[in-house]
Amino acid sequence: MNPNQVRLLIVDDQAMNREVLARRFRPLGYDVTVAEDGATAIERVEGQPFDVVILDIMMPDLDGIEVLRRIRERHDPTALPVVMATSRDDRDDVIRALTLGANDYVIKPIDFEILLARVKTQVRLMKTTEALENANHRMKEELQSAARIQQSLLPKRLPDLAGIKLAYAYKPCEELGGDILNIFSLGDDHIGMYLLDVSGHGVPAALLSSALSHLLTAAPGEGSILWDRITGPGGPQLVSPAKVARRLNERFPFDSDTCQYFTLHYGILSCRDRRYTYVSAGHPPPFLLGSGGRAEVLGKISPAIGIVDDSSYEDNTHLLAKGDRLYVISDGILQARNREDVEFESSRLFDTIQSLQDRDLEKGVSSVVDSVEAWADGQAQDDVSIVALEID
């Protein structure tokens, strides 16, 4: 059979009606199968594929309405169009058929040109739907592949240093997210960590966040903006977080075409004296849970990256003590909404991290994400990301 042939099933209990329609359709290239009653029609539909069914309503035993109902139990209207054939006075039957999922109808005695036009319309709609579904399937596969690439940018192994525990969690709200994060060693004496959030979602946000992750690489090479290359015995020097924010703001001015900008938390922990220096550029400030169980917000917020050309950025510094836990979050946590449209907010985050003080840091971070998801009833509106450190 020609793969481009339309496979047509004609169902009518009158032999003359079946043959007349079959003889008109076959010379036009249609592959025609006939059924003389409802039971045979069901058997044909379940036994072989068809593109369109022309179904008479008035038949003994199983009428066309019951046949349509059974077809729709297994076949969606977009996958198998059904055109009902009815007498001129059967208005109620037409309404019932359309309600059950008939795609169209023709009135007896059948005008073949009208029936042909309606069959062609259903075939075009079906093929268009198939093409859209195939394109959507390909797009999903490509998005899943891109999501795997984006996931590969997350830290696979965290720095292992005595007296310092590290953890993170990352859950995009779509296949591709605008958040990206990392925790890494900066030489022998420092740990760097960042969490950034690109405005928007999907491919544009993911592309920019992936590009930024390459700029914020820990290695003091050609592409990293975390180091100043200095010739001489001293070698590369670490750049302060505020200076990193200024460099990013210069490189990524606001683009009126894309309307993209991003927020950033970038911090450096000195492993010697446990001094944490950071900048929060439009990003929620870090949350500190002290060893005594008291939670507080640290520092102040500078402008987001890419909003204002000459934004001013300042370093914040906090000396961490034994037992302190520091949490850096994305705004997807604070802005998660429940069914009553109430946000999770800082107060609930405080309560959550305080309740998890006795848990292992990694399990505690996972529990924060679980609490946010439970609050939002599993319907995340934004990416949910968190990085955390603890002085042990």
pLDDT, tens only, 116-140: 999 999 999 988 988 888 888 887 7
Higher pLDDT, 87 or 102: 102
- Look up tokens 């914020």; give the residue: 216
Query: Model's pTM, two decimal places?
Result: 0.69
> For residue 281, is pLDDT > 80?
yes
**pLDDT value for 45:** 96
Closest CA to 269 of 327, 185, 328, 325: 185
- Average pLDDT in the 71-100 region? 90
- Average pLDDT in the 309-332 region? 92
> For residue 285, is pLDDT > 70?
yes
**pLDDT value for 151:** 75
Higher pLDDT, 223 or 304: 304
> For residue 90, is pLDDT > 60?
yes
Counting residues of the chain whose pLDDT is more than 90, the rounded percentage is: 56
Closest CA to 72 of 93, 86, 55: 55
**pLDDT value for 174:** 65
Least confident range of 121-130, 222-231, 293-302: 222-231
- Average pLDDT in the 267-279 region? 95
Least confident range of 12-16, 26-30, 338-342: 338-342
Q: Whole-number mean pLDDT of the chain?
A: 89
> For residue 102, is pLDDT > 90?
yes
Cα–Cα distances (Å) from 388 to 9, 89, 197, 258, 352, in that order, read 64, 73, 16, 32, 14
The tokens for 114 are 């009208």
**pLDDT value for 377:** 84
Counting residues of the chain whose pLDDT is more than 70, the rounded percentage is: 94
Cα–Cα distances (Å) from 189 to 192, 306, 319, in that order, read 10, 31, 15
What gap in Å lies between CA 33 and CA 58, rounded to an integer? 19
| Partners of residue 179 on adjacent β-strands | 197
- Average pLDDT in the 88-96 region? 81
Residue 88 pLDDT level (bands cut at 50, 70, 90): low
What gap in Å lies between CA 23 and CA 284, rounded to an integer? 73
> For residue 184, is pLDDT > 80?
yes
The tokens for 261 are 């900008």
Domains along the sequence of the chain with CATH: 7-133 (3.40.50.2300), 153-391 (3.60.40.10)
Closest CA to 184 of 281, 285, 269, 288: 269
Cα–Cα distances (Å) from 261 to 200, 210, 313, 342, in that order, read 9, 14, 16, 26
**pLDDT value for 322:** 93
Residue 1 pLDDT level (bands cut at 50, 70, 90): very low
What gap in Å lies between CA 84 and CA 356, rounded to an integer? 64
> Contact 295/229 with Cβ under 8 angstroms?
no
> For residue 206, is pLDDT > 50?
yes
Closest CA to 180 of 370, 368, 388, 385: 385
> For residue 142, is pLDDT > 60?
yes
Higher pLDDT, 297 or 144: 297
**pLDDT value for 211:** 86
Question: In 108-138, which positions are buried (b, 16+ CB within 10 angstroms) versus exposed (e)?
Answer: bebeeeebeebbeebbeebeeeeeeeeeeee
> For residue 20, is pLDDT > 80?
yes
**pLDDT value for 314:** 92
Q: Which range scores top for mean pLDDT: 44-48, 89-93, 295-299? A: 44-48
> For residue 300, is pLDDT > 90?
no
